[in-house]
Amino acid sequence: MLTYKKNILYMDNSLLNDIADKISTPAYIYSRKKLIENFRKFNGAFSKHNRIICYAVKANANPEILKILAKEGCGCDIVSGGELKLALKCGINPKKIVFAGVGKKDEEIRAALKAGILLFNVESIPELYKINEIAMALGKKAPTGFRVNPDIDAKTHPHITTGMSHNKFGLSLNEAEDGYLLAKTLKNIEISGVHCHIGSQITDPVSFEIASKKISAFINKIEKNSLKLKYIDMGGGLGINYNNDKIIKPKDYAAAITKYLPKNRVIILEPGRFMVAETCILVTKIIFVKKTAKKKFIVVDAGMNDLVRPAIYDAFHKIIPLLKRQGEQHNCDVVGPICESSDVFAKDRKLPPVTSGDYLAILCAGAYGYSMSSNYNMRPRPAEILVEGKNWKVIRKRETLEDILK
Ligand SMILES: *Cc1c(COP(=O)(O)O)cnc(C)c1O
């Protein structure tokens, strides 16, 4: 989706320099084409299976992105009442919405029951009682599965593992077994599935195979109690290529995650990062080039408030200039303006010659980028732009100081 023509960077057929000049920076810029491509590639990988793809909204909650996915027939994995409202507003079919999270509040449970979502992925016994109680008050049956924690080390960054026994998510396999027996006795609970999500940015297919095996054994055990789990929700987690990482192809992922699962079920997948990460760049402008005795700092106008992944996950993002100048590459640190030492996008990175006023593109910024942005240091959130061929449009206006002061 990104190509240089005569040393000037294009996204699809749009000249990025022009967009940055018109819209100012920082700005998240997305390719509509790439988004649709990602969905179709992922969905196609599971074509042999009866499946529902439930995009994890928390990766990127831009309404335009959700609308495009809704048109493709995609569902959603939500983790709050806000995400529920957004998904419904963007045309996502409620029968394709699954709801996870350890702290669902009464009003969020109520809203999801009223909307008629597909599945509550329940993360504790108190939550099960609460859902039963609210469903009873509404005269409904809540479609329910437990999120189980299969205790798998997915070998990813400790802040994004979720399926190990010390993580706060889900129930252990033993606890979940008791949970299903209890759920059977609750009148307003309809047991319909099981859920697991072992972590994010996973690049090793073996972790997915192990999850598949453990869940399959668990289902066997549970179904001896005359229960039937129609939906098997295997979560998200498929990694993408940030830094020449060895990644799993969607079809190999599909093979690994379904390897041991029983037949004749509906398989739910919750890709977040895979769907959006590579559709987007964060464009930022160089404010100063600062040389010290030890280092060369490229100070840009995006900060950790706009893209926090490097600061909190040590994440690597490639950085390239919108205008490639000729000359020797230099080692530099690319840093933001925020008053924190962790506000660094790249350390000792080789970059071609650049000067103040030049634009840089921070790559693979579509997942956990804008959605994790903040107003830290009293900075308005950036604009979001969608490119379609040689046309583009603003899909979220840049925040203003007045917006923040409200
Ligand atoms: C975050 C999350 C996902 C998406 O994870 P990715 O690594 O972005 O694919 C899916 N399911 C649940 C429950 C999540 O919390």
Q: What is the pLDDT of residues 87-99, one digit of tens each?
A: 999 999 999 999 9
Question: Which amino acid type is present at position 177?
Answer: E
**pLDDT, tens digit, for every residue of 130-166?**
999 999 999 999 999 999 999 887 777 777 667 677 7
Stated pTM of the model: 0.97
330-335 vs 344-351, strand pairing mode: antiparallel
3-class SS string, 92-119: CCHHHEEECCCCCCHHHHHHHHHHCCCE
Q: Domains in the chain, start-ordered, CATH in brackets?
A: 2-30+277-405 (2.40.37.10), 32-274 (3.20.20.10)
**pLDDT tens, position by position, for the chain (406 residues)?**
999 999 999 999 999 999 999 999 999 999 999 999 999 999 999 999 999 999 999 999 999 999 999 999 999 999 999 999 999 999 999 999 999 999 999 999 999 999 999 999 999 999 999 999 999 999 999 999 999 999 887 777 777 667 677 788 899 999 999 999 999 999 999 999 999 999 999 999 999 999 999 999 999 999 999 999 999 999 999 999 999 889 999 999 999 999 999 999 999 999 999 999 999 999 999 999 999 999 999 999 999 999 999 999 999 999 999 999 999 999 999 999 999 999 999 999 999 999 999 999 999 999 999 999 999 999 999 999 999 999 999 999 999 999 999 9
Residue of 38, 76, 77, 247 with the most ligand 1 atoms within 8 Å of its CB, for mutation: 77
Task: Give the nearest ligand 1 atom to 100 CA.
Answer: 13
Nearest to 157 by CA among 146, 167, 172, 149: 167
Q: Which residue's CA is minimally distant from atom 3 of ligand 1?
A: 236
**Taking CB atoms and a 6 Å cutoff, what residues make up the pocket around ligand 1?**
56, 58-59, 77, 100, 197, 200, 235-238, 270-274, 367
Distance 268 CA to ligand 1 centre (A): 12
| Dihedral in degrees, nearest 10, Cα atoms 273, 274, 280, 285 | 50
Q: How far apart are CA 254 and CA 158, in angstroms?
A: 24
Angle 315-99-276 from CA coordinates, rounded to 5°: 35
Q: Which residues, other chains included, contact 391 with Cβ-Cβ below 8 Å and sequence gap of 6+?
A: 14
Whether 76 is catalytic is no
> Max CA-CA distance within the chain?
72
Nearest to 200 by CA among 157, 232, 169, 168: 157
Report yes or no: 321 and 354 within 8 Å, Cβ to Cβ.
yes
Residue of 54, 55, 58 with the most ligand 1 atoms within 8 Å of its CB, for mutation: 58
